[in-house]
Amino acid sequence: MEKEQRIAWEARCIQEEPPACSTTCPLHVDIRQFMREMADGNMEEAYKVLCKNLPFPGIFGRICNHPCETKCRRGEVGEALGIGSLERFCVEFHGVPDRVKLLPRKSKTVAVVGGDVAGLVAAHDLRKKGYGVTLLETASQLGATFRKFSEDLLPDATLEDELAVLKNMRVEILLGAVLDDAAFENLCGEFDAVFIDRTCPTCASLPLDNDASGLIAVDPVTGGTSRPEVFAGGQGGDVPIMLAAAGRKGALSIERFLQQAHMTIGRENDGPYESRLYTNLEGIAPLDRVRPADVDAGYTADEAMREAARCIQCECLECVKVCQYLAHYKKYPKKYIRQFFNNEKVLLGASHSSNQTINSCTHCGLCAAVCPNDLHMGEVCLEGRYAMLQGDYMPPSAHEFALQDMAFSTSDEFVLSRHQPGTRQSAYLYFPSCQLSATAPGEVLQSYRVLCEKLSGGVGILLGCCGAPAFWSGRDPLFRETLDTIRKQWQAMGQPKVITACCTCQSVFKEHLPEISSTLLWQVLENNALIDKALREEVAGHAVAVLDPCSTRHDPQAQSGVRRILGDLGFTVEELPLSGAMAECCGYGGLVFNANPQLDNAIVTRRAEYSERDYLAYCAMCRDKFVNVGKRTAHLIELLFPSVDGNDPWARGWISWYERRKNRQRVKDELLADLGETVERAMEPYDKIVLHIDPELLRTIDSRRILESDLRQVVHHAEKTGKRLRHNQNGQFRANLKLGNTTFWVDYAPDGEGYRVHNAYCHRMNVTGVK
């Protein structure tokens, strides 16, 4: 996989971007975390959060003009958090400052000239990083700017306590220092780097280039001056927190300079900047600020906690809120992308859980629909699947069954292309899909006959699979091959207009076979006035909830067309929470039903609980998946065409995988019969085996992706070879047989003319090195 692509994906997920309060804070205090701790009453933890980014917290916590509040998102729904007041409460609550932890002493030393805000912060930051720091101040006291604040706001005792921290950090402080050219040259020779606080009254006359306003000229990004080892910052008139940011910038530049690192890369986030974090404020109730009962005394602990609890804890997670897959694995895309691609072992399937993660996304695209940066995790997961396949690390259990089902649908068992009986050309080509033929064979046949009768110019038939399972499983060559076959069949039929009856097929045609003009069956019926109530007299219209398939996300016409048809048929439509452009997947997409049945079940079950109403699907897999979890669900085709099988569309129940194959064969056989042709299906010796299976056991066996034909092969082989174990107590036989990568086990006993199956299970795996 291309590294650039991975980096681009990662960059699009902005969940880890700091919120607006922090990016507006010139020193980037983690205000969100601070609020979390305060709201929980963890005042000391909150103080530690302040200390991480705020030097002299007792000073800035009291005097900062809190520009962060101007961008607080809470301000858009109520009032901005009282960040300044809460910081003040926190530092007052804490009292005398803690000692600052220093990194191990480094050999390099730095001189800081000027002991006002910028110089103090630069000295603090550099010393904290382990550099030896000497601070020179021409006046007799440090912190001239701080001393301008009233005793009420910043008591002298507090100021002295906070400044004493520098001494504890072993910063060498020289007050009343003389600063002339000679002294400056000495500093430059003696120290590895120099920082100059530009508010220092004498520094403008030092032998350095000055700007138009007479201050030492500095590079706006780095604070560099005309001498490489000298940096400067701070400007009279700036508020203290901005002077502090200038000191921090100088300290960062000096560190890079001393480490010979790049001076400008990644500096765009020095000082205040616009946050890239997206936070959806929908549904957040407006709340006004908690005001202290005693304004002069400020917040009590309880008031502070209540005020901090108003913080929204800004974050994005738009995709995680709607996608059960992302929520299930408790991560957001940026983390997944790093996990998938930064750790080769993960990508190469070293553990079951990691490759299951890659295989558990439905590729539904809902994440991209809600993401402010359109990040489509389905594409990321698909790339992961390609990489796993290329490295031969994809376990057969992930997709094998679905691919075998696809192989059946692209084999002679189902594939058919013919002109309409009695014609030699096709203006249209009906592609009802393998899944709808499996779900509703009678209705597929009936719909084809109606199309033939009502449309002129000939309606050909094309039975096959669009290749979606190959696409979802990362089998690109197989997918391309399947598309090529369809293209050739379409060309051989004279390039007719294709009518699809499956939304997934339709999206595959649109995206991957753009040269083929295709329309959904429902639109053709509507456009040609073929919606006839009489078609389905026995189905009384009532209120139904429509299940939009995720494959129609970008096809609003299809979605509205289905609703119009339902209206014509006398149904009223209830909209489900996630529908239309926000449609969820039923779990068939991405073959998740195969790779992660538990998650698949959770996805369908949640959607089934959205409404008490009957569901109306227009995707065969949606219909079958919801019926499987006990939800009354019918397919649109069942309403439109009288079922030749006479079933109530809402009561037809589940269909086994084996039955689905039989249904496909039936569609082909009946179409050929209409053409006066017959199909010779080879009978295998095991086909004659009669099995008795209790309905409940049949469902269990089906959920294990075992077909009745698999059971017959195992029993036939066991009976023929005698390779079976007999259970002494119950007399049952246990036999096994490996078919492809799968070993099937069956417990059975003779029963009349046939055999009764008592249990069956299978293992899909490739054990390398074992023959």
Residues 6 or more apart whose Cβ sits within 8 Å of residue 222:
231, 249, 253, 256, 263, 264, 267
Among 311, 521, 545, 637, binds ligand SF4 (CB under 6 A): 311
> Is the Cβ of residue 584 or residue 708 nearer to ligand SF4 in the bound state?
584
> Is the Cβ of residue 67 or residue 372 nearer to ligand SF4 in the bound state?
372
Per CB under 6 A, does 553 bind ligand SF4?
no
C-beta neighbour count of 597 within 10 angstroms: 14
Instruction: Give min distance, CB of 275 to ligand SF4, in A.
Output: 8
Task: State the Cα–Cα distance between residues 430 and 436, nearest whole angstrom.
Answer: 12
Among 318, 400, 624, 747, binds ligand SF4 (CB under 6 A): 318
User: Which tokens hold the place of 245?
Assistant: 């940011």
Bridge partners of 764, per DSSP, are 742
Residue 352, CB-side half-sphere exposure with 13 Å CA sphere: 5
Which runs of E-coded beta strand occur in 630-718? 633-635, 691-692
Instruction: Give min distance, CB of 374 to ligand SF4, in A.
Output: 8
> Is the Cβ of residue 64 or residue 370 nearer to ligand SF4 in the bound state?
370
Among 9, 10, 15, 200, binds ligand SF4 (CB under 6 A): 15
Instruction: Give min distance, CB of 574 to ligand SF4, in A.
Output: 23
Q: Are 747 and 758 in contact (CB under 8 A)?
A: yes
Amino acid of residue 311: C
Per CB under 6 A, does 27 bind ligand SF4?
no
Query: How remote is the C-alpha of 635 from its chain's centroid?
Result: 30
Task: State the Cα–Cα distance between residues 319 and 376, nearest whole angstrom.
Answer: 10
Per CB under 6 A, does 21 bind ligand SF4?
yes
Per CB under 6 A, does 375 bind ligand SF4?
yes
Instruction: Give min distance, CB of 25 to ligand SF4, in A.
Output: 9
Q: Are 197 and 247 in contact (CB under 8 A)?
A: yes
Per CB under 6 A, does 319 bind ligand SF4?
yes
Per CB under 6 A, does 373 bind ligand SF4?
yes
Among 316, 583, 707, 714, binds ligand SF4 (CB under 6 A): 316
Per CB under 6 A, does 364 bind ligand SF4?
yes
Instruction: Give min distance, CB of 332 to ligand SF4, in A.
Output: 4
3-state secondary structure of 460: strand
Per CB under 6 A, does 586 bind ligand SF4?
no
Q: Are 715 and 732 in contact (CB under 8 A)?
A: no
> Is the Cβ of residue 122 or residue 586 nearer to ligand SF4 in the bound state?
586
C-beta neighbour count of 522 within 10 angstroms: 23
Per CB under 6 A, does 74 bind ligand SF4?
yes
Instruction: Give min distance, CB of 582 to ligand SF4, in A.
Output: 10
Per CB under 6 A, does 49 bind ligand SF4?
no
Per CB under 6 A, does 566 bind ligand SF4?
no
Instruction: Give min distance, CB of 144 to ligand SF4, in A.
Output: 32
Instruction: Give min distance, CB of 53 to ligand SF4, in A.
Output: 14
Among 66, 73, 248, 660, binds ligand SF4 (CB under 6 A): 73
Instruction: Give min distance, CB of 512 to ligand SF4, in A.
Output: 18
Per CB under 6 A, does 325 bind ligand SF4?
yes
Task: State the Cα–Cα distance between residues 185 and 500, nearest whole angstrom.
Answer: 83
Among 23, 28, 30, 32, binds ligand SF4 (CB under 6 A): 32
> Is the Cβ of residue 371 or residue 693 nearer to ligand SF4 in the bound state?
371
> Is the Cβ of residue 84 or residue 441 nearer to ligand SF4 in the bound state?
84
Among 66, 363, 385, 764, binds ligand SF4 (CB under 6 A): 363
- Of 374-382, 509-517, 614-622, 652-660, which part binds ligand SF4 (CB under 6 A)? 374-382
DSSP 8-class letter at 268: G
Task: State the Cα–Cα distance between residues 22 and 655, nearest whole angstrom.
Answer: 56
Q: Are 249 and 233 in contact (CB under 8 A)?
A: yes
Residue 380, CB-side half-sphere exposure with 13 Å CA sphere: 34
- Of 108-116, 358-366, 405-413, 430-438, which part binds ligand SF4 (CB under 6 A)? 358-366
DSSP 8-class letter at 194: E
Per CB under 6 A, does 312 bind ligand SF4?
yes
Task: State the Cα–Cα distance between residues 534 and 536, nearest whole angstrom.
Answer: 5
Per CB under 6 A, does 14 bind ligand SF4?
yes
Task: State the Cα–Cα distance between residues 615 and 444, nearest whole angstrom.
Answer: 20
Q: Are 480 and 454 in contact (CB under 8 A)?
A: no
DSSP 8-class letter at 210: B
Task: State the Cα–Cα distance between residues 569 and 640, nearest whole angstrom.
Answer: 9
Per CB under 6 A, does 81 bind ligand SF4?
yes
| Burial classification of residue 701, based on how many CB atoms lie within 10 Å of its CB (0-12 exposed, 13-18 middle, 19 or more buried) | buried
Alpha helices in 40-116, H assignment, sequence order: 43-53, 57-63, 68-71, 83-94
> Is the Cβ of residue 75 or residue 494 nearer to ligand SF4 in the bound state?
75
Helix (DSSP H) and strand (DSSP E) numbers for the chain: 34, 19
- Of 146-154, 317-325, 473-481, 552-560, which part binds ligand SF4 (CB under 6 A)? 317-325
Residues 6 or more apart whose Cβ sits within 8 Å of residue 308:
34, 35, 36, 38, 39, 81, 86
Among 299, 329, 332, 593, binds ligand SF4 (CB under 6 A): 332
Task: State the Cα–Cα distance between residues 467 and 716, nearest whole angstrom.
Answer: 33
- Of 101-109, 156-164, 325-333, 567-575, which part binds ligand SF4 (CB under 6 A)? 325-333
Per CB under 6 A, does 366 bind ligand SF4?
yes
Per CB under 6 A, does 35 bind ligand SF4?
yes
Positive/negative CA dihedral, 390, 323, 365, 11: negative
- Of 93-101, 183-191, 222-230, 359-367, which part binds ligand SF4 (CB under 6 A)? 359-367
Task: State the Cα–Cα distance between residues 365 and 595, nearest whole angstrom.
Answer: 18
Q: Are 116 and 145 in contact (CB under 8 A)?
A: yes
> Is the Cβ of residue 66 or residue 198 nearer to ligand SF4 in the bound state?
66
- Of 314-322, 478-486, 492-500, 681-689, which part binds ligand SF4 (CB under 6 A)? 314-322
Instruction: Give contact residues for ligand SF4 (rule: CB under 6 A).
Output: 13-15, 19-21, 31-32, 35, 72-74, 81, 311-314, 316-319, 323, 325-326, 332-333, 361-367, 370-373, 375, 377-378
